[in-house]
Amino acid sequence: MVGRTCYECGEPDHFASVCKEYWEAKDRGVPFVPPPLPAYVRTGRTMFGSGSERRSHSADNYVMRREDEETNAMMSYFQEKALIWKREKENLAKEEKKRKQEALRLEAEKKKHEEIAERK
């Protein structure tokens, strides 16, 4: 809690839930009025607007970082899919080439057998 400031009394290093002055006033049944703060002291978060305007910079950074991670994961996924598709396409082309060569070899062998059969 070092560096924290109570938003009830303005004293450093404790939270409002354990603020001695606040709880003493509450036990006495009197309203707690914190001492006035100097004009230059910032008190807590400034809340304005709604939605994304209210988010802190760290939340924005987290969202951007999360979106980047998701984008990178999607890009990796699709790159991997494209690589797999390319390899499958290449394998199909090789298999087709082998089938054609085998068909040509069988055709040549068939002709050779026919020529041998005609000679007899």
pLDDT tier for residue 20 given thresholds of 50, 70 and 90: confident
User: What are the structure tokens assigned to 9, written together?
Assistant: 């009394």
Q: Read off the pTM.
A: 0.38
- pLDDT number for residue 11: 73
According to DSSP, residue 67 is labeled: H
**pLDDT at residue 64, as a whole number:** 76
* Residues 6+ away with beta carbon under 8 Å from 6: 12, 14, 15, 16, 19, 22
- In the predicted model, what is the mean pLDDT of the chain? 79
Backbone angles phi, psi at 43, to 5 degrees: -110, 100
pLDDT in tens, 33-68: 766 666 665 655 555 555 555 555 666 676 777 888
Q: Read off the pLDDT band of 23 (50, 70, 90).
A: confident
Domains of the chain: which residue ranges? 45-119
